[in-house]
Amino acid sequence: MKQDERDSFFRLGPEQILQAVESAGYDCAGQLLALNSYENRVYLVGVESGSLVAKFYRPNRWSDAAILEEHAFTLELADLDIPAVPPIVIDGSTLFHFQNYRFSLYPLKAGRAPDLESKEQLEQLGRYIGRIHALGTTCSFKHRPTLDVHTFGDDSCEFLLENGFIPPELEAAYESVAKDLLDVIELRFESINPELIRLHGDGHQGNILWEAKDYGLGGPYIIDFDDARMGPAIQDLWMFLSGDNAQVNATLDILLTAYTQFHDFDTSELSLIEPLRTLRIMHHAAWMARRWDDPAFKYAFPWFNTQSYWEQHVLILKEQMGAMQEPPPQWI
């Protein structure tokens, strides 16, 4: 991130936020509330017609073309009555510029976390994810990356080692376990050769808002496609699985039975669950390290980049080697 862009992003304050929203044609009413987001800056903004959500993009993470590609995907989904939440379109545009900032505006959607113990809610999630993936197969992202061993694994390890985040006394252990893990993951991906499709990319409970209704079960809003990329279908499913083997298999059965009403699923991808979990662990540590010059990260995550954090990180990676040798969940 260029120094001036970085400093400007870190200093983003109420005055710039309200001026940016007004530059898109809204009359702000003065209310402003920061929402829970660290990668970007996201705010609930009061305007004369109600409230909307303003999302300011971190500089140099995504190109304009990549952001617009995400927007186009969510607009396609909404056109098919799939409950993604696309940005507001103003005069044919969804991405706006104000001073050094890039931002988009979204309608406010309220809801609670889904109940992953509810068969009915899991069935709805499975059906909608199946529909997302059915659309996701129709073309490829051209400006967004692929979730693979290189982008989530190799790049993450290299960044941590080259920038001195791993304590010297842990470097050898970290480098050894990381290399062994990535070799196994690479072979697993090569043996399965999964179809790569357009994904949400970060499918978990925190990115689902469940709208309650006076009648019926309500339904989900699927939010935050900021991590949308090419990858295997199981990436949007595995983080909804938890508990012991019996619970995991039961949840998987509900999700996939509903999912396959709209899109086929290759069960060989179940062998990618632990490799994908491992890549997520590696990528998350490197993501935190890449953002460590952002004061918001130091304030929110004071436990990161401590000796105990890295000791625990190496231990978790060693445990993942064992987890990847276990039989994957089953769906029959």
Annotated binding site for Mg(2+): 207, 224
SS3 289: helix
Element at 107 (helix H, strand E): strand 101-107
What are the residues whose beta carbons fall under 8 Å from the beta carbon of 242, sequence distance 6 or more? 116, 248, 251
Rounded Cα gap, residues 70 and 72, in angstroms = 5
Contact, 108 vs 52, CB < 8 A? yes
For the annotated catalytic residues, the residue numbers are 202, 224
What are the residues whose beta carbons fall under 8 Å from the beta carbon of 99, sequence distance 6 or more? 8, 16, 20
Rounded Cα gap, residues 312 and 1, in angstroms = 29
Q: Give the position of tokens 């809801």.
A: 111
Binding residues: 207, 224
What's the N-to-C CA distance of the chain in angstroms? 48
Rounded Cα gap, residues 224 and 37, in angstroms = 10
State the virtual CA torsion across 159, 161, 162, 165 in degrees, nearest 10.
90
Radius of gyration of the chain (CA): 21
HSE value, Cβ hemisphere, 13 Å, CA-based, for 297: 17
Element at 279 (helix H, strand E): helix 273-290
Rounded Cα gap, residues 330 and 300, in angstroms = 38
**DSSP 8-state code for residue 84:** B
Residue in 303, 119, 257, 277 with CA at minimum distance from that of residue 204: 277
Rounded Cα gap, residues 187 and 153, in angstroms = 13
Residue in 261, 255, 194 with CA at minimum distance from that of residue 230: 194
